[in-house]
Amino acid sequence: MEENCIFCKIARGDIPSATLYEDEEFRVILDLGPASKGHALILPKKHAANLFELPDETAAKALVVAKRIAGQLKGGLHADGLNLVQNNGAAAGQTVEHFHIHLIPRYQDDTVNVKWQPGELSDADKEEILKLFR
């Protein structure tokens, strides 16, 4: 628990939230500023600021929770699709520094925007990046 972390307080139940699911390690809540109907957030109860700080075991379990809740949201709300979004760092759009996964149900012709302009993979970039993983 981090002092002053709003998602720690919500995950622990100190601040009330619209909770869809809870177990020992996670709480899944409705986002207060939904991108679409059913926009939910998966919050681990143990504080990790972002993906880089998240323990492997929590990371693995988070995707299992995501899969289950995604299915329930999509089926129950008759969504046409669903995005998982997970932001790390202000540059990536993270505004709350407690790891969370967005579940964003998608509806044909909705106005949600998770798109980018495709660039081009240069040979120089490709070589530089591949070298990191050799």
Residues that bind Zn ion (CB under 5 A): 2, 5, 7-8, 47, 98
- Binding range to ligand AMP, per CB under 6 A, among 29-37, 48-56, 70-78, 108-116: 29-37
- Binding to ligand AMP (CB under 6 A): which residues in 37-76? 41
Q: Which of 39, 98, 100, 102 is catalytic?
A: 100
Is 93 one of the binding residues for ligand AMP (CB under 6 A)?
yes
Q: Please give, one letter per residue, the 3-state secondary structure of the chain.
A: CCCCCHHHHHHHCCCCCCEEEECCCEEEEECCCCCCCCCEEEEECCCCCCHHHCCHHHHHHHHHHHHHHHHHHHHHHCCCEEEEECCCCHHHCCCCCCCCEEEEEECCCCCCCCCCCCCCCCHHHHHHHHHHCC
Residues of the shown chain interacting with ligand AMP in the complex, contacts defined by CB under 6 A: 6, 17, 29, 31-33, 41, 87, 93-96
